[in-house]
Chains A and B, each alone.
Chain A
C-alpha cells in the first residue's frame, strides 16, 4: 500500500498514449499501400508498450480498461488488416499466454518444476488434429471425418478433462517425490508423449508418426465459419483474413477466461494453499494442507489449460507434428513464465508476448538481414532458440529473479468487512 501511494497517477498519460497509437494505426490503414512493412513493427511495439504500462504503472481502472480494450480489440485487429503477420503472431501469443498461465499455476503458484508441460499440449493438439482432420479415418471405419469445425468448442472441454486426467494419472506417482526429482521425472514424461506421438503410426496409424497431422483448411466447415462467412461477404474482407481476425478474438477471450480462472483460484483457499506449499511444505502441511492432493490439483489444472490450448492450436494453425511438443517447447513455455514473473498473471502474459515476438518477429527479421548480407547461415539466430531460452532463464535468475512484472500479494480487504459486512455476522 505504501509503495503504490508514493507513485504518481499516470492514468491520463496512458490514455493519451493509447489514443495516439490508435491514430497512428488508423493512418497506417488509410495509407496501407504506401507503407513499407518495417514501419509496422514500431507501431506494434508502441501498442505493446501501452499494455506494459497499463500493467506496471499506477493507473486507474478506467485507464487500464481503455488501454487494454483499445490495444487488444481495436489496435491489433486494425494492424492485422494491413499486415496479417502481426495478427498471426498475436494469435500465437494468446495461445501461449493461456498455456503459460497454466504452467504458472504449477511452477509459479505451487512451486512444482514441470519440465514436460508440452506433453499436455500435445494431448489436446492431437485430440483435435486427429478428429478434426481426416486422420481418424485411418482407424475408424465409415469415413466420418473430418468433423465439423465448430465441434472444436466441444473438444475444448473434452481436452480440458482428458488432459487433467492424464495429468492426475501421471502426477500421482510423481508428486510424491520432491523438487529436483519431480523436474527430472516430468522431463521424462514429456519425452514419452513425444515418442508416442512419433511412433503411434503402426500397427494402427493413430498419430501419423513423424509426418504429423494436417487439417485441410475449408471455408465451409472451419471453426466459426457460421460467423466468418457472412462477415467476410458483408465487409468484403477476404475469408482467411476475416477468419484470422475471428480466431484472434476467440483466443483473446480464452486468455481472458484463463486470467479470471487463475486469479480466482489464486485468491481462494486453494491458491493460498499452493503458495503456502511453495513457501514451506512442512509448515503448509502443519496448517492442514494435504500435500499430494493439493499438488495434484495444481498439476491437473496446469495440464488442463495446456490440453485446451492444444485443441485451439491445432484448429488455428492446422498442422502439428511430434516436434511441436518436444523438450524445447516445454522450456520455451517455462521461459515465458520465468521471464514474466513466477506467480504473476500479467507478468506471464507479458513473458509469452516477448518470447513469441522474439521468435516470430525479431529473430526472423535478423535472419532475413543476415541473408541479405550474405553471411554464412550459421549466424542465423533462429537456429539458436534453445540457447536463447537458456540465456533468458539464467540471466533472469541472476538479474531479476522475480521476473519483469513481479507477483504482488493482494492487500487485505478488511475495510469492506467493517462497513456493513461485519454487521451481518458470520457463524
Chain B
C-alpha cells in the first residue's frame, strides 16, 4: 500500500468532521473520494497533507508515518495536492508557479543564488526544462509568461496540477479537479488524470462531484457521509449501493421537495 490510513479522526470542537476513516491506496491506482457537501472530504485531504493533525488514527505513506509532519515535509515525502478553491500564486507567471513547485527538489542554496555559480545554473536549467515539460503536459506552455491570476478558470485548475507535479510526487491528491469546467474541459481533465497514472506512474486520489468522471476513471471509490465511510468498492458497486443512494438522493430529494423552504428559513 502506498497510502495507508487507519481510523483517522478529526474533531472540530463538537463536530466530528472525519470519523475513524480507514482508507487504503495501492500504488498506481486512481481512487475517488465522494460524498455530499460537508462530508469531510477536504478535511480528510488536509489531514493527510499535514494542514490538520488528526485527533487520532494512523496515516502511513510508503511505510512511514506522516503524523506530526508539517505540510512542506509531507510534500517532500512525495505527496502533492491541488486545492478546491484554487490557490495559485496570482502575481507570479504561469511558469514561475511551476518553478515554485520544484522548491523542495532544487538544490540552490542562498550562496549559490548570490554567486550564480554552476549549481545555480544547472538547477535553474533543470527547473526550466521540467517546468516546460509539465506545462506542455497540461497544455499551458504558450501561456507561460501570463500571470496566473489572469488565466481563465479551467486553465488555473490545470496549472495547479502542473505545479503539484513539479514537486515530483508519488501520490497526488486532487480536490475537485473538474469543478466549474465545461464538458470539453472536463473530458480533457479526465484524460489528463489517466495519463498521470499511465504515463507518469503517479497514484491519484481525487475528490469529485461529477459522477460521470468518477464512474469512468476510478479503480476504486470511497464514499464519505457526515465524516463516516459508508461504502467502498468498484465504481458500479458503489453506484448501486443503497446507502450511497440514500446519502445522495435521499437528502437531495428531501432538499428538493420540502427541505428547500426549511433550509431557506434556517439561512435567513
Contact = CB atoms under 8 A, between A and B. Distances in A.
Contact of A272 (B49, B100, B147): B100
Contact of A273 (B49, B87, B103, B128): B103
B167 interface: yes
Report, as a range, how many residues of chain B touch the other chain.
35 or more
B176 to A, nearest CB: 16
How extensive is the interface on chain A, given as a class?
Answer: 35 or more
Interface stretch (A125-133, A263-271, A308-316): A263-271
Contacts of B112: 268
A233 interface: no
Nearest to B95: A412
A262 to B, nearest CB: 10
B1 interface: no
B129 A287 contact: no
Contact of B100 (A1, A261, A284): A284
Interface stretch (A86-94, A206-214, A289-297, A377-385): A289-297
A42 interface: no
B89 A276 contact: yes
A1 B95 CA distance: 14
Interface string B87-118: 11111110110011111111010101110100
A415 B101 CA distance: 21
Interface in A249-299: 261, 264-265, 267-273, 275-276, 278-280, 282-291, 297
Interface stretch (B8-16, B71-79, B211-219, B238-246): B71-79
Contact of B103 (A280, A288, A422): A288
Given A264-B114, A283-B88, A417-B132, A409 B147 contact: yes
Contacts of B88: 279-280, 283
Contacts of A422: 129
B81 interface: yes
Contact of A280 (B89, B99, B102): B89
Interface SS of chain B: helix, strand, loop or mixed? helix
Given A1-B145, A273-B103, A276-B92, A427 B72 contact: no
Interface stretch (B17-25, B35-43, B119-127): B119-127
Contacts of A265: 110, 113-114
Contacts of B104: 287-289
A426 interface: yes
A284 B73 CA distance: 12
Contacts of B92: 272, 275-276, 279, 409
B145 A287 contact: no
Nearest to A407: B91
A287 B147 CA distance: 18
Given A282-B51, A288-B103, A269 B145 contact: no
B70 interface: yes
26 contacts: A268-B108, A268-B112, A268-B120, A269-B103, A269-B127, A272-B103, A276-B89, A279-B92, A282-B83, A283-B89, A284-B100, A285-B72, A286-B49, A286-B87, A287-B104, A287-B166, A287-B167, A288-B167, A290-B72, A410-B93, A411-B93, A412-B145, A414-B95, A414-B132, A417-B129, A422-B129
Interface of B: 49, 51, 70-73, 75-76, 80-81, 83, 87-93, 95-96, 99-106, 108, 110, 112-114, 116, 120, 122-129, 131-132, 144-145, 147, 163, 166-167
